[in-house]
Amino acid sequence: MPRFATVLFLAGFAFLLFSLTLTLGFGEPPMRAGQGVLDQAVAGTGAANAVSAVLLGFRGLDTLGELSILFAAATAGGLVLGHRRPGGDGPPAGAILQAGTRLLFPLMLVVGFYIVLHGHLTPGGGFQGGVILAAAFFLPVLAGTGAGPDHALLRVVEGLAGTVFILIGLAALWTGGVFLEPLLVDRGALHELFSAGTLPLLYLAVGLKVGAELAGLLAHMARAGGGEA
Amino acid sequence: MDAYIGPLLFLGAAGLLAIGVVGMLLSNHLFRMVLALVIAEAGVNLMLVLAGYRWDAVAPILQPGVAAQPMVDPIPQALVLTAIVIGVGVQALALTLVIRIREAYGTLDMAEVRARMEVDVAAAGGGEATGSRERPAGGRPLPGPGALPEPPR
Amino acid sequence: MTHLDLLLLVALINLPVAWWLAGGATRRRLLALPYGLMLGMLLYMDPGATWDSGLSWVFLGQSLSWRLDGLGWFFALPTIGAALAAAAYSSGEWGEDFAGAGGSMGWLQLALAANVFAMLVLLAAGDLLTLFIGWELVSWAGLPLMVLAGGAAVGAGIRYITYAMGGGMAVLLGVVLVYVWTGSLVPADFMAVLPTLASWQVGLLVALFFGGFGVKMALLPFHLWQAPAYGLSVGPAAAFLGAISSRMGLFAMALVLVKFITLERLVDLTVIPGLLDSRDVLAWVAAFTIILPTYTALKQNDARLLLAWHGIGQGGYMVLGLVMGDAMGSAGGLLHVFNYATNQAVLLLAVFAVMHRTGTADLNRMGGLIVRMPLSFLALLIGIIGLAGLPPMNGFVSKWLVYRSLVLEGEPLLFLAAIIGTLGTILSVYKLIHNIFLGQLRVEHEDIREAPWSMTGPMLVLCAVIVVTGTMPGLVLGVVADAQQAIGLAVPDYHLGGVTSPAGGLDMLWLNGVIMAGFAVGAVLFYGFGGRTKRVHQLDNYAGGHFLTADVRYQYSDNFYPGLMHHIGGWYRGSFQWLEGALISVVDLLATALRGFYHQAQPAAWVLFTITLGFAWAVLP
Amino acid sequence: MMAYAVALPLVAAFLLPVLHNASRWLGILVGPAALVAVLLVVFQSWQPAVLPFAMDLGGFAPPWGITFYVDALALLFCGAVALMTLLLWPRDEGDGDADALVRRRSLTLLLAAAAAGLALSGDLFNIYVFYELAAVASYGLAAERGTPAAYAAAFRYLMLSALGSVIALAGIAIIYFETGTLNLAHLSLLAGELQGPTGMAAFLCLLVGFGVKAELFPVNAWVPEVYGVTTRRTAGLLAGLVSKLAVLVLVRLLVLVFPQEGLRDALLLLGVLGLIGGELAAWKARDMTRMLAFSSIGQLGLVFVAFSLPGTAGLVAGIVVAVHHMVLKPGLFLLAGQWGGGLRGLAGAARRAPLAGLLFVLFALSLVGLPPLPGFWAKFLVLTGLAGQGGGLGWLAMVAILVATVLEVSYLFRLAGRLYSRGDDEVPAAATGGGTVTAGVFGALVVAAVVFAPALWDEVQDMGAGAGDAALYVRTVGPMVPTMISGGAP
HEC sequence for D16-65: HHHHHHHCHHHHHHHHHHHHHHHHHHHHHHCCCCCCCEEEEECCCCCCCC
Rounded Cα distance between C170 and C177, Å, is 11
A190 in contact with B, Cβ within 8 Å: yes
Rounded Cα distance between B141 and B147, Å, is 11
- pLDDT of B39 reads 94
Residue D489 has pLDDT above 60, yes or no: no
Stated pTM of the model? 0.89
Rounded Cα distance between A201 and A164, Å, is 9
Interface contact flag, B132 C604, Cβ < 8 Å: no
**B103: chain A residues, CB-CB within 8 Å:** 224, 227-228
Interface contact flag, D18 A159, Cβ < 8 Å: yes
> Domain limits at D270?
3-481
HSE of C206, CA atoms in CB hemisphere, 13 A: 29
Interface contact flag, D99 A78, Cβ < 8 Å: yes
B71 in contact with C, Cβ within 8 Å: no
Higher pLDDT, D127 or C597: D127
Which of A7, A51, A62 shows the shortest C-beta gap to B74? Answer: A51
**C595: chain B residues, CB-CB within 8 Å:** 130-132
Section B109-131 average pLDDT: 73
Identify whether the C-beta of residue C318 lies closer than 8 Å to the C-beta of residue C334.
Answer: yes
Q: How confident is the model at residue B1 (pLDDT cuts 50, 70, 90)?
A: low
Chain D residues 148-177 with CB within 8 Å of chain B: 148-149, 151-156, 158-159, 162-163, 165-166, 169-170, 172-173, 176-177
Interface contact flag, D104 A72, Cβ < 8 Å: no
**D381: chain C residues, CB-CB within 8 Å:** 60
Rounded Cα distance between A187 and B137, Å, is 72
The nearest CA of chain B is from the CA of C195 a distance in Å of 54
| Torsions phi, psi for B96 (to 5 deg) | -60, -40
Interface contact flag, A156 D151, Cβ < 8 Å: no
Which of B24, B25, B130 shows the shortest C-beta gap to C599? Answer: B130
Section A131-146 average pLDDT: 80
The nearest CA of chain C is from the CA of D21 a distance in Å of 40
In a domain, B95, yes or no: yes
DSSP track, C561-602: SHHHHHHHHHHHTTHHHHHHHHHHHHHHHHHHHHHHHTT-S-
Buried b (16+ CB within 10 A) or exposed e, B59-94: ebbbeeeeeeeebbbbbbbbbbbbbbbbbbbbbbbb
When divided into structural domains, chain B yields a total of: 1
Interface contact flag, D58 A159, Cβ < 8 Å: no
Q: How confident is the model at residue C570 (pLDDT cuts 50, 70, 90)?
A: low
Section C422-450 average pLDDT: 83
Interface contact flag, D413 C161, Cβ < 8 Å: yes
- pLDDT of B153 reads 43
Interface contact flag, B93 D136, Cβ < 8 Å: yes
- pLDDT of D37 reads 92
**C605: chain A residues, CB-CB within 8 Å:** 2, 5-6, 9
D288 residue type, one letter:
M
Query: Per-residue pLDDT tens for A148-161?
Result: 677 778 888 888 88
A–B CB contacts, 8 A cutoff, strictly below: 162
In a domain, D54, yes or no: yes
B134 in contact with C, Cβ within 8 Å: yes
**C601: chain A residues, CB-CB within 8 Å:** 2
Best residue in D60, D158, D486 for a mutation probing chain A (most A CBs within 10 Å): D60
What stretches of C446-536 adopt beta strand conformation (E)?
Answer: 493-495, 498-500, 506-507
**B79: chain D residues, CB-CB within 8 Å:** 125, 172, 176
Query: Per-residue pLDDT tens for A44-66?
Result: 777 778 888 888 888 888 988 98
Q: Max alpha carbon distance in chain A (Å)?
A: 66
Which of A2, A16, A20 shows the shortest C-beta gap to C605? Answer: A2
**C612: chain A residues, CB-CB within 8 Å:** 9-10, 12-13, 16
Interface contact flag, A13 C608, Cβ < 8 Å: yes
> Domain limits at B101?
7-55+72-124
The nearest CA of chain B is from the CA of A33 a distance in Å of 8
In a domain, B142, yes or no: no
**C608: chain B residues, CB-CB within 8 Å:** 21, 25
Q: How confident is the model at residue C457 (pLDDT cuts 50, 70, 90)?
A: confident
In a domain, D141, yes or no: yes
Higher pLDDT, D321 or C435: D321
In a domain, B134, yes or no: no
Residue B136 has pLDDT above 50, yes or no: no
Interface contact flag, D162 B105, Cβ < 8 Å: no
Interface contact flag, B25 C604, Cβ < 8 Å: yes
Interface contact flag, D99 A82, Cβ < 8 Å: yes
- pLDDT of B133 reads 42
- pLDDT of D59 reads 78
Report the CATH number that the domain containing residue B98 is assigned in CATH.
1.10.287.3510
Q: List Cα–Cα distances, A16 to B13, C530, D162, D443, in angstroms.
A: 13, 106, 21, 49
Q: How confident is the model at residue C359 (pLDDT cuts 50, 70, 90)?
A: confident
In a domain, D72, yes or no: yes
Section B19-41 average pLDDT: 90
Section B127-152 average pLDDT: 44
Rounded Cα distance between D122 and D74, Å, is 11
In a domain, D488, yes or no: no
D53 in contact with A, Cβ within 8 Å: no
Identify whether the C-beta of residue C505 lies closer than 8 Å to the C-beta of residue C518.
Answer: no
Residue C147 has pLDDT above 60, yes or no: yes
B138 in contact with D, Cβ within 8 Å: no
| ipTM of predicted complex | 0.87
DSSP track, D218-284: TS-THHHHHHHHS-HHHHHHIIIIIHHHHHHHHHHHHHHT---HHHHHHHHHHHHHHHHHHHHHHHH
Residue D483 has pLDDT above 60, yes or no: no
Interface contact flag, D287 B75, Cβ < 8 Å: no
Q: Which residue of D has its CA nearest to C598?
A: D221
Interface contact flag, A25 D177, Cβ < 8 Å: yes
Interface contact flag, B44 D129, Cβ < 8 Å: no
B116 in contact with D, Cβ within 8 Å: yes
Q: Which residue of C has its CA nearest to B114?
A: C601
- pLDDT of C536 reads 72
**A6: chain C residues, CB-CB within 8 Å:** 602, 605, 608
DSSP track, C80-110: HHHHHHHHHHHTSHHHHHHHHTT--HHHHHH
Which residue from D335, D317, D311, D323 is spatially nearest to D261, judged by alpha carbons?
D311
When divided into structural domains, chain D yields a total of: 1
Section D76-99 average pLDDT: 84
Section D323-338 average pLDDT: 87
- pLDDT of D466 reads 86
B102 in contact with D, Cβ within 8 Å: no
Best residue in C602, C607, C610 for a mutation probing chain B (most B CBs within 10 Å): C602
Q: Which residue of B has its CA nearest to D144?
A: B97
Residue B140 has pLDDT above 50, yes or no: no
Q: Which residues contact B31 (CB under 8 A, 6 or more apart)?
A: B95, B98, B108
A12 in contact with B, Cβ within 8 Å: no
How many CB atoms are closer than 10 A to CB B46? 19
Which of A6, A38, A77 shows the shortest C-beta gap to B74? Answer: A38
Rounded Cα distance between B94 and B92, Å, is 5
A183 residue type, one letter:
L
